[in-house]
């Protein structure tokens, strides 16, 4: 290993360590790591920008979704939905828990899970306090559902979209092949509710009449914006099958532009305010981590790691898929899933080339073809493992960190050990149930 590979690998380990320990904000850690690579000439600035451009679809998709979500904030639709969670409970703790699942699941199927938690989680503490129950378990449940429901569609979780974009799976193909795995993950949480939250499950809620009842503002804007969102969801499904294909990223940016136009024309907010409130920190983190992983690719670290993978797995795709699902799941519980999958995608592709199951053309950033069907379970397993592993620990996913911050703002911490008590059994059972689905749906038909 030459000095450039050593620097690239060392910086990657340092960045991941800083993100895990939260000693430094994840965006600062990743940005400094990327800049040090350029300063040491491991990558030129031009090469760094090239690695960012390879992942333009991911960046464009989440920018578009963030703008659309922010444009709807003045309507107070999210506060309204939060109150409906409690009203649907009708005085029963178990209905409250099921209501959180029911409200969070469809939103997280189409919005990034961290964004959904950012919108809905602040509504939980005041409502829970009005009802006289501890809000920490409710926030933890919302996080579990948000992370799991992200598997329902291609755009629900950043890690899922990154892997899906790398193997050129369409939104519709994802729905037909992989969404059921996400539904199984959510159903697993529902089955665990009485065991994870027995006290709340058996609680009878009182004083529902004195809950705040927020009213929806700007109903005309909400109606027109709902039409825009409806078209965005429609073109997510059919866009890539049109005579002139339209990618989900393009659709999201178009939806963002239309929502900006609606907000500006209706004067409910200004374009500057909306764009100022976009989560630029997360987008810069994405860009920086793509550069850090790009350095591993350029210096041959990923190629070397793929050689080890080839030695362990050989050509046994069935064993490799299940092993990856659990290994990536466990890793993702302590390493944020976005940098994990960004590193794993080129590693897996290089492994397939090494063992002769794919041609070298799959390594090209411009590869637009399809991988052989027999190797796709490896990537499907990685999607499931990376997303569900985030439920294991407090640092496993960005939505977990968001919820912890919101809890602190309302006077309570989510201790690492407390999250672990709920997270480990949830993650373990979800990985088992989804692995059964992977075997039945993808591996047995190939046997």
pLDDT at 213: 64
What are the CA-CA distances from residue 434 to residues 90, 115, 313, 389, 417 (Å)? 33, 25, 21, 12, 25
Contact 295, 43 (CB under 8 A): yes
pLDDT at 86: 65
Q: Number of C-alpha atoms within 13 angstroms, CB side, residue 115?
A: 30
105 lies in a domain?
A: yes
75 lies in a domain?
A: yes
282 lies in a domain?
A: no
Number of domains in the chain: 1
Please report, in tens digits, the pLDDT of each residue of the chain (447 residues total). 688 889 998 988 898 788 767 688 778 988 999 999 999 999 999 999 988 887 788 788 878 888 887 888 788 777 777 677 666 666 678 888 888 898 889 988 887 787 778 777 877 887 777 677 888 999 999 999 999 999 999 988 888 988 998 898 988 899 999 999 999 999 999 999 999 999 888 887 665 555 556 677 788 888 888 898 888 888 887 887 788 888 888 988 999 999 999 988 888 888 999 898 887 887 888 789 889 888 888 888 877 777 777 778 778 889 999 999 998 898 888 776 777 788 888 888 888 888 888 888 888 777 778 888 899 999 999 999 999 998 998 877 778 877 887 788 788 888 888 898 999 999 999 999 999 999 999 988 876
330 lies in a domain?
A: no
pLDDT at 384: 96
362 lies in a domain?
A: no
Within 10 Å of residue 213's Cβ, how many Cβ atoms? 11
pLDDT at 408: 80
> Which residue segment(s) compose the domain that 108 sits in?
57-156+170-276
Residue with tokens 């407090």: 394
Q: In Å, how far from its chain's centre is CA 222?
A: 26
pLDDT at 89: 64
pTM exceeds cut of 0.85 = no
84 lies in a domain?
A: yes
Q: What string of DSSP letters covers 67-133?
A: HHHHHHGGGTHHHHHHHHHHHHHTTBHHHHHHHHHHHHHHHHHHS-HHHHHHHHGGGHHHHHHHHTS
pLDDT at 40: 92
Please provide the distance, in angstroms rounded to a whole number, between the alpha carbons at the two ends of the chain.
39
Give the long-range contacts of residues 269-278, CB within 8 A, separation 24 or more. 269/71, 269/73, 269/74, 274/67, 274/70, 274/71, 275/67, 277/70, 278/63, 278/66, 278/67, 278/70
Q: What are the tokens at 432?
A: 């088992």
CA angle 118, 120, 123 (to 5 degrees): 115
97 lies in a domain?
A: yes
Nearest to 97 by CA among 108, 106, 88: 88
351 lies in a domain?
A: no
């Amino acid at each position: 290993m030459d000095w450039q590979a050593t620097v690239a690998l060392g910086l990657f380990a340092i960045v991941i360590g800083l993100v895990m320990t939260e000693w430094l904000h994840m965006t600062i850690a990743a940005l400094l790591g990327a800049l040090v690579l350029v300063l040491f000439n491991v990558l030129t600035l031009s090469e760094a920008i090239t690695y960012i451009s390879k992942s333009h679809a991911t960046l464009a998709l989440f920018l578009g979704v963030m703008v659309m979500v922010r444009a709807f904030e003045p309507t107070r639709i999210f506060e309204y939905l939060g109150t409906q969670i409690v009203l649907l409970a009708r005085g029963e703790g178990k209905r409250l828990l099921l209501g959180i699942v029911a409200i969070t699941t469809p939103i997280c199927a189409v919005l990034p899970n961290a964004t959904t938690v950012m919108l809905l989680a602040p509504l939980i503490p005041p409502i829970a306090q009005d009802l006289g129950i501890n809000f920490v378990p409710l926030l933890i449940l919302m996080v579990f559902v948000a992370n799991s429901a992200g598997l329902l569609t291609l755009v629900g979780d950043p890690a899922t979209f990154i892997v899906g974009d790398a193997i050129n799976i369409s939104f519709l193909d994802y729905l037909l092949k992989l969404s059921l795995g996400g539904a199984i993950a959510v159903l697993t949480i529902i089955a665990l509710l009485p065991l994870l939250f027995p006290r709340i499950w058996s609680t009878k809620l009182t004083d529902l009449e004195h809950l705040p009842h927020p009213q929806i503002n700007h109903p005309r804007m909400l109606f027109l914006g709902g039409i825009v969102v409806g078209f965005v969801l429609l073109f997510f499904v059919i866009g890539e099958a049109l005579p002139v294909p339209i990618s989900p990223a393009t659709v999201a940016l178009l939806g963002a532009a239309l929502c900006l136009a609606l907000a500006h024309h209706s004067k409910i907010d200004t374009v500057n305010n909306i764009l100022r409130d976009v989560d630029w920190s997360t987008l810069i983190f994405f860009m920086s981590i793509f550069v850090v992983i790009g350095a591993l690719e350029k210096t041959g670290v990923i190629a070397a790691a793929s050689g080890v993978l080839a030695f362990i797995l050989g050509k046994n795709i069935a064993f490799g898929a299940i092993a990856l699902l659990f290994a990536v799941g466990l890793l993702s519980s302590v390493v944020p899933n976005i940098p994990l999958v960004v590193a794993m995608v080129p590693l897996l592709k290089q492994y397939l080339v090494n063992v002769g199951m794919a041609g070298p053309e799959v390594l090209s950033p411009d590869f637009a073809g399809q991988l052989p069907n027999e190797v796709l379970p490896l990537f499907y397993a990685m999607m499931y493992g990376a997303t569900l592993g985030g439920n294991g620990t407090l640092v496993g996913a960005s939505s977990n960190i968001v919820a912890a911050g919101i809890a602190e703002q309302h006077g309570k911490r989510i201790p690492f050990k407390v999250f672990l008590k709920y997270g480990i059994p949830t993650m373990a059972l979800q990985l088992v149930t989804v692995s059964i689905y992977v075997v039945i749906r993808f591996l047995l038909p190939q046997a």
